[in-house]
């Protein structure tokens, strides 16, 4: 091997060593970059997962709150329906009293509402036909027993009510219909009814 070949061989050996060193450095740097990206990717993935979990928790909390609110509304609605049913039951109970007791009830209402003792009793269509005269006679009898004027009269026209009566005297009408009586006492009796129903 002559001198030129030795020089060429030496240059080639150095070049190979340098190429190998550059390749190794590039591979090391590439591995570092890959590791850094993998770490960043994991951190980013963890952030996304954490954010997803937090959003899911917020949604679940909102749904739970909404569900609790809807549940309360449903319970309140049911309670209101039950209270309304209790008052309706009271009204029906009065309407279904035995005739004698119902006549007495209506006569008492007329007496309590009467101011002059000369008012007109207006009944429902059914009550007017069945018990009109009995109510009038009983009411006047009660007023007379109290030492008051007892000259109530009975209207030939029926009121658009399902029971009870309307007492009319001049410009004044006192609504003693069953629905008006129940409605008038509803607020006053509501706490007691609710207490009995829901204790």
Tell me: the pLDDT tens digits for 19-77? 676 667 766 777 777 777 777 777 776 777 777 778 877 888 888 888 888 878 877 78
Would the pLDDT of 151 be above 80?
Answer: yes
Higher local confidence (pLDDT), 8 or 90: 90
Q: Is the pLDDT of residue 121 over 70?
A: yes
Cα–Cα separations (whole angstroms), residue 90 to 47, 61, 189: 64, 43, 12
Residue 129 phi, psi dihedral angles, 5° rounding: -70, -45
**All structural domains of the chain with their residue ranges:** 1-96, 97-198
Domain 97-198 has CATH 3.30.2320.30: yes
Q: For the whole model, what pTM was predicted?
A: 0.63
CB 159 within 8 A of CB 124: yes
* Closest listed residue to residue 128, CA positions, set 166, 102, 93, 154: 154
Nearest to 121, CA basis, from 104, 107, 105: 107
Q: How far is the C-alpha of 119 from the C-alpha of 18, rounded, in Å?
A: 126
| DSSP per position, 72-90 | HHHHHHHHHHHHHHHHHHH
Closest by CA position to 85, among listed 199, 5, 186: 186
């Amino acid at each position: 091997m002559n001198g030129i070949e030795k020089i060429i061989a030496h240059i080639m050996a150095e070049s190979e060593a340098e190429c190998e060193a550059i390749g190794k450095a590039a591979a090391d740097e590439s591995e570092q970059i890959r590791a850094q990206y993998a770490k960043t990717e994991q951190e980013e993935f963890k952030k996304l997962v954490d954010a997803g979990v937090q959003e899911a928790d917020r949604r679940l909390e909102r749904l739970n709150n909404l569900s609790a609110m809807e549940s309360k509304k449903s319970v309140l609605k049911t309670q209101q329906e039950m209270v309304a049913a209790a008052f309706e039951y009271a009204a029906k109970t009065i309407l279904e009293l035995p005739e004698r007791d119902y006549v007495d009830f209506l006569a008492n209402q007329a007496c309590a509402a009467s101011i002059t003792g000369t008012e007109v009793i207006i009944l429902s269509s059914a009550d007017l036909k069945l018990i009109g005269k009995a109510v009038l006679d009983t009411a006047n009898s009660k007023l007379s027993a109290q030492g008051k004027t007892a000259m109530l009269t009975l209207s030939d026209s029926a009121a658009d009510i399902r029971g009870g009566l309307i007492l009319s005297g001049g410009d004044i009408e006192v609504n003693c219909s069953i629905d008006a009586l129940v409605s008038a006492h509803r607020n006053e009796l509501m706490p007691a009814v609710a207490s009995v129903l829901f204790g």
